[in-house]
Amino acid sequence: MMPFPAEAVSRVKVLVVGDIMLDRYWFGEVDRISPEAPVPVVRVARREDRLGGAANVARNIVALGAQASLLGIVGSDEAGGKVRDLAREAGINSCLVADAVAPTTLKMRVMGRQQQLLRVDFEEGPGPQSLAKLEGQARQLMAEHNMLVLSDYAKGALAQVEILISAAHEAGVPVLVDPKGHRYQRYHGASIITPNRLEMQEAVGRWTTEDELEQKAQALRKELGLEALLVTRSEQGMTLFSDAGREHTDAYAHEVFDVSGAGDTVLAALAVTKASGLSWFEAVLWANRAGGLVVGKLGTSVVTAGELS
């Protein structure tokens, strides 16, 4: 494989728009069962907050040596403030819309001995005013960037995703989408979408052979007017469908420790390498490699340009 194009990547500017979350971890020791109910008592020893969702994609883009602007919606609350602080520390140019009513999407995980015991989610969709602000800012920012990445976690920030894709078309900016749900018509006109195996099944139904998958994938790609469609298939690697046909690369992971956030890393690597001038499949090879490295780390982590070189 050729060396990682670090020099070209450093000139790349990516705009990430999507659902922003704060991943909060409480790590503790479990040495007894509660007298009140049959549940473990966790004595919290350490707390950690990490950027999640679209914010984790932006964090990965910066870690790979490119420039990232992050646009999304947070609440006017403590978690929203934390997202701003973490984004600033990570070197992300953040353009966050504060929603006066809806809280920041927060996923709180209670960990005992490296194991997740409980997850508590705080989430509510953003209001129409916040969505209108997001759209206005996206139009302004678009022209300053080489690539638009839409990170959809179905939390509401991309409720009007069609408008963002057509604005990118007008600005001549390619669009990468990490999709959610099964209504893929919404992503019509994107450059590429990157569903995982499960998401692809939701969109086109099950397949039994590689030929059948290829037929379904190419049909979906043509229907949506995409340049390419990438199916990420964890231990089975990644398969790219484009005008060139089907191109596959086997999984790179040596040891899988934690898959959370791996899709964000894959998306980031795909965006920066494609925007640096590589072909889709060359970019997929780097994305595959980055994804393979990140699953060897605990929690939502990042891969750096140095680790790829």
Which residues are identified as catalytic?
A: 264
Q: Are 303 and 293 in contact (CB under 8 A)?
A: yes
306 Cβ neighbours under 8 A, 6+ residues apart? none
DSSP result, 207-241: -SSHHHHHHHHHHHHHHHT-SEEEEE-GGG-EEEE
